[in-house]
Amino acid sequence: MSLLEKYYTEEHQIFRDSIRRYFEKEVTPYVDQWEVDGIVPKDAWTKFGAQGFLCPWIPEDYGGVGADFLYSSIILEEMAKTNCSGFMVNLHSDVVVPYIASFADEEQKQRWLPGCVSGEIITAVAMTEPGTGSDLAAIRTTAIRDGDEYILNGQKTFISNGINCDLVIVAAKTNPNAESPYAGMSLIVVEDGTPGFEKGRNLDKIGLHSQDTAEMAFVDCRVPVSNLLGQEGQGFYYLMEKLYQERLVCSIGAQVAAERALEVTIDYTKTREAFGRPISRFQYISFELAKLATEIEIGRTFVDSLIIDLLEGRKDVKKASMAKYWVCEMQNRVTAQCLQFHGGYGYMEEYPIARMFRDARVQTIYAGTSEIMLMIISRQLGL
């Protein structure tokens, strides 16, 4: 029995059935075209929001239903069955919007959260810069106060939802001369259309082809001081607080993707014949699939335990970093082996495993590389 079994209610199952039917009708048939287009159309977001599937955890006062995190994990699980990794609704719902819910004042919440729920506001978070990756303290983007405005200058890159976003949370230095590089950082909300905010090209990536990933530039971009998120100088600490859930969401996504890869591969090996019998009957292949299934089962148990921790109000940075490291590496091992068992067909775009293989590669890079996760874990061990 799954560790989460006792947490699921009838409402959770109704929600799962509803979103599964929605994905089958409104997402899966269009995924191939979205991959060609390099972007998910905005109306897909508003349709999704109209069903109550975006940010379901947001309180009713702001348009949500106050649901628990299990609803978010259900969305991730059912999304995997569409073979679409580019429609990053969980990035919006469970990574970016929580910054607003946690750190915004009441006026800001009333202004932005209802649109986040409806899909009329698509969000992104801009941390990474061309010269800085995981080292947030080294960012160069500045937001210098001038009366009732901040003047933003700088560049960001690899921003998921970067083309579609209507609102981006920008990490910038409001005090570039602070003694500590961490103390001078703030989070500034920039809305699409603000003069001086320029969206660059939709980046051409190895995988996640339907995910709009963009460069951004801020050139004397004037933003009202009222768009400061939380307190000035606290941005780095806000990011550290929310990176826990980002890494958990990433781990869940990697876990369900690995499960899906094994599922389609088992089905394929049962029907693909060589030397007069299904290739699943060859001992080597059956044993290797058994090994992959074991790794996946271990990952599921670990991920479920972290979901339970979150549901019960516990956060373990070490475990979340371990999950982000191990599960994402496991996903890459699984998809690579599953592609191998498809033979030449695994290299063909028409087979789902090909997309799974190329989409998996970024999982050990974004939301903190595997190497950064190992550094965090070692520090948590007192090393």
Q: What is the pLDDT of residues 225-252, one digit of tens each?
A: 999 999 999 999 999 899 899 999 999 9
Least-confidence region, from 35-39, 77-81, 204-208, 228-232: 77-81
pLDDT, one tens digit per residue, over 251-277 is 999 999 999 999 999 999 999 999 999
Q: What are residue 115's DSSP bridge partners?
A: none
Q: Rounded to two decimals, what is the model's pTM?
A: 0.94
Of the three residues 92, 121, 150, the one that is the final residue of a domain is: 121
Of 134, 84, 130, 126, nearest in space to 365 by CA: 134
Mean pLDDT of 195-204: 97
Looking at the structure, tell me whether residues 138 and 215 fall in a common domain.
Answer: yes
Q: What is the mean pLDDT of the chain?
A: 95
Looking at the structure, tell me whether residues 263 and 286 fall in a common domain.
Answer: yes
**Set 246, 259, 263, 312: catalytic member:** 246
- 6 exposed, middle or buried (CB, 10 Å; 0-12, 13-18, 19+)? exposed
Full residue range of the structural domain in which residue 281 is found: 237-380
| Cβ–Cβ under 8 Å, residues 198 and 219 | yes
| Cβ–Cβ under 8 Å, residues 304 and 74 | no
Looking at the structure, tell me whether residues 148 and 130 fall in a common domain.
Answer: yes
pLDDT, one tens digit per residue, over 312-341 is 999 999 999 999 999 999 999 999 999 999
Question: CA 298 → CA 73, 244, 304, 332, 367, distances in Å?
Answer: 18, 21, 10, 15, 22
Please give the Cα distance from 83 to 319 (Å, whole number): 28
DSSP secondary-structure letter at 189?
Answer: E
- Two tokens, residue 261: 């890869």
Question: How many domains does the chain divide into?
Answer: 3
Please give the Cα distance from 24 to 339 (Å, whole number): 24
368 vs 332 pLDDT, higher one: 332
| Cβ–Cβ under 8 Å, residues 246 and 276 | no
DSSP secondary-structure letter at 129?
Answer: B
Looking at the structure, tell me whether residues 178 and 61 fall in a common domain.
Answer: no
246 in active site: yes
Looking at the structure, tell me whether residues 242 and 369 fall in a common domain.
Answer: yes
C-alpha angle with apex 232: 230 to 236, nearest 5 degrees? 80
Looking at the structure, tell me whether residues 187 and 252 fall in a common domain.
Answer: no
